[in-house]
Amino acid sequence: MAATEHPNVSPSPTAEDTSRPTTLANTDIVVLVIYFLLVLAVGLWSMWKTKRSTVDGYFLAGKNMTWWPVGASLFASNVGSGHFIGLAGSGAAAGIAATAYEWNGMLMVLLLGWLFLPIYIASRVTTMPEYLQKRFGGKRIQLFLCVLYLFIYIFTKISVDMYAGAVFIQQALQWDIYLAVVLLLGITALYTIAGGLAAVIYTDAVQTLVMVIGALILMGFSFVEVGGFQAVLDKYPQAIPSIRVPNTTCGIPREDAFHIFRHPVTSDLPWPGVILGMSIPSMWYWCSDQVIVQRSLASKNIVHAKGGSLLAAYLKVLPFFMMVIPGMISRILYPDEVGCGDPDVCKQVCGNPVGCSDIAYAKLVMELLPAGLRGLMMAVMLAALMSSLTSIFNSSSTIFTMDLWRNIRRTASEWELMIVGRVFVLVLVVVSVLWIPLVQASQGGQLFIYIQSISMYLQPPITVIFFTGCFWKRTNEKGAFWGLIVGMVVGCTRMILDFVYPTPQCYESDTRPDIIKYVHYLYFSVILTLLTLIVVVCVSLATEKPKPEQISRLTWYTRFDPVKESEEVAVSDLQTFEDVTVCPKDMDNDANPTKEDSCSSASSKAASSKLKSALFWICGMEKQKGEKPKSPPPETVTCSLEEDPCMRHLVNANLIICISVAVFLFAFWA
């Protein structure tokens, strides 16, 4: 017992040290205030930059974004506070293997720009479920995926980012978690609701800059403290805590810590699973997830979309240096706390008996950085948290409004869609706050396992549906639907078994059934993909062929098909319906001057209220009285897939360079 009480001596100086910087210096507060003012200023500026009173303007930033804000927003949307806490924690606990997720993402975001985006742009959709509805017809796949996407966003992405942000805020400031999260959600909701996707993309660009600068500064301090990169290679294997459970592997660094490709059977990340199993859910995330694709769809043309993918891919090199290696350094510097190997000690250090690797990044910030820079790193973590939340809020709002609400209210005016989209963001904020107690109760240990399970068990069937829909013209609605259902049932079954038989801790014996013990979740991802693919192919071949309108401009081979007149009318109705009146009942009676007059008089009365006018102005919902919908010029329909020859050669050359960099990184650390 005396031995287990002894660690109290070790953590107590740490507690004093961490309590010292919790009262932020004036410099830190000034840096934080400047950061918040900068974000709000960029958000307000972007409100003037884009027309927010149309569906296109609000949900797709007017389709007028250039490559650099798109690329920065792709990176910021992907790298949330969960990355800083989770990747640094993985580095501290198990070495560099988790970097494979990042470098795999480099290749997948390029796949988005060169293979998937041309199809999405040609089909002129706003959401991913909408693409499936056009491609396969019917409503059941679209509605099923809408609900599934919203479930994944609300109960996994939001919760994991909020947990990670809360870990940092509690380590740094000892703030009340509710106060901190409500404040953050309030600020993010403000410019998400008011500015739409344009505000989210431009603020993401600023926050990417803040994240990269702050994280690189901390990386520099970490390398100076530990003695350079060679010292990390030499000292990490010796970063063993003084108190461990005897005769176990607890607290001992992995022998393969500096290898990305690990043993195919006995390791935590087997190399065949890294190559195949990891790529499948990664393809879903980068090539068909609404949060990511929506940013690329906002590009002014395909060249800028490809440029955005390239910038995001280059930035994905950085997490290895900004997060994983600092996490390993944190374990070297604080082995008894970050690398604790005894459940009782871990409980004392961070309140989580499973392990304390999640505090690795926050520990570095609070121990190494001087006043002023601590404030900058607080801004970095808040930037990571806010950029992820705004992206999820905006994309969830888009899916709910464009796919669910338009199916419930087929006669909804654009005015109504604008209101619904903004109100749904508020609903998400409330749900996020109510979710906090469950996030706290999970203590993070099982939460990240839960997120991983969601990825590997629910995303492969969706990947197969999108891949076959885009690249196999014979895929039909029945094949896609039954492939999705069978894949989901099998995936959910394995997920439930994983919760019934959780992975044992280092001091426990493994009593799980062989099917769970020996079939790694990355291997299961491959099996689930093949099973779904077989069902899709067999059912599609056994049933009728898809109709021509379900193929034209909706697959890789038909993306250049000419646009039909009926399709042009439908698009112009959606994108340029600027007669945003408050009398939707009278919209079908344009020929009746009496009803038009009464409608405009009603709208002018509503606008007479100064409070309402101010609210409409903040939300960008100006009323265009007396104007008829204007059809877009013919060239806007087809120009998006046209590429300037010089620019095409430039982005293609960069594509080859970027792929070469990714292959080199994998090979060097394999």
Tokens of 572: 């112009």
Residue 628 clears pLDDT 50, i.e. is over it: no
61 band by pLDDT with thresholds 50, 70 and 90:
low
Alpha carbon distance 376, 207 (integer Å): 12
User: What integer pLDDT is reported at residue 177 of this predicted model?
Assistant: 64
Per-residue pLDDT tens over the stretch 172-194: 666 666 776 777 777 777 766 66
Q: Are 354 and 342 in contact (CB under 8 A)?
A: no
How far is it, in rounded angstroms, from Cα 571 to Cα 575?
Answer: 6
The C-alpha atoms of residue 526 and residue 9 are separated, in whole angstroms, by 48
Mean pLDDT lowest among 296-300, 337-341, 592-596: 592-596
Q: pLDDT digit string (tens) for 422-438? A: 788 888 878 877 776 66
One-letter amino acid identity for 173?
A: L
- How far is CA 87 from each of CA 99, 207, 271, 322, 379, rounded to the nearest angstrom? 8, 19, 19, 10, 19
Question: What amino acid is encoded at 593 in this protein?
Answer: P
Q: What is the pLDDT of residues 654-670, one digit of tens each?
A: 999 999 999 999 999 98
Give the mean pLDDT of 467-477: 95
With cut-offs at 50, 70 and 90, classify the pLDDT of residue 345: confident
- Give the integer Cα–Cα distance in Å for 581 and 602: 9
Three-state SS sequence of 571-592: HHHHHCCCCCCCCHHHCCCCCC
Q: Summarize the confidence of residues 241-258 as an average pLDDT.
A: 80
493: tokens are: 């079954």
Give residue 143's Cα distance to chain centre: 21
Tokens (6 digits) for 444: 């993070």
Name residue, tokens 């990184």: 665
Ranking 195-199, 283-287, 425-429, 439-443 by mean pLDDT, the lowest is 439-443
Give the range with max mean pLDDT: 65-79, 428-442, 587-601: 65-79
Q: How far is CA 500 from CA 491, 511, 575, in A?
A: 14, 12, 49
Question: What is the per-residue pLDDT across 505-548, written as a single tens digit (0 to 9) for each?
Answer: 777 787 888 888 888 888 999 999 999 999 999 999 999 999 99
- Residue 529's closest CA among 474, 466, 470? 466
Angle between helix 373-399 and 81-94 (nearest 10)? 110
In 3D, which of 631, 221, 144, 167 has the Cα closest to residue 444? 167
Question: CA 504, 509, 510, 512: dihedral to nearest 10 degrees?
Answer: -90
Q: For the beta carbon of residue 443, count every other beta carbon within 10 angstroms.
A: 16
Please determine, for residue 653, whether its predicted confidence score (pLDDT) is greater than 90.
yes
Domains of the chain and any CATH numbers: 14-442+637-669 (1.20.1730.10)
pLDDT at position 572 is: 42
- The whole-number pLDDT of residue 36 equals 78
**pLDDT greater than 60 at residue 248:** yes
Encode 473-494: b = buried (16+ Cβ within 10 Å), e = exposed.
bebbbbbbbbbbbbbbebbeeb
The stretch 406-435 carries a mean pLDDT of 80
User: How far apart (Å, rounded) are the C-alpha atoms in residues 267 and 290?
Assistant: 33
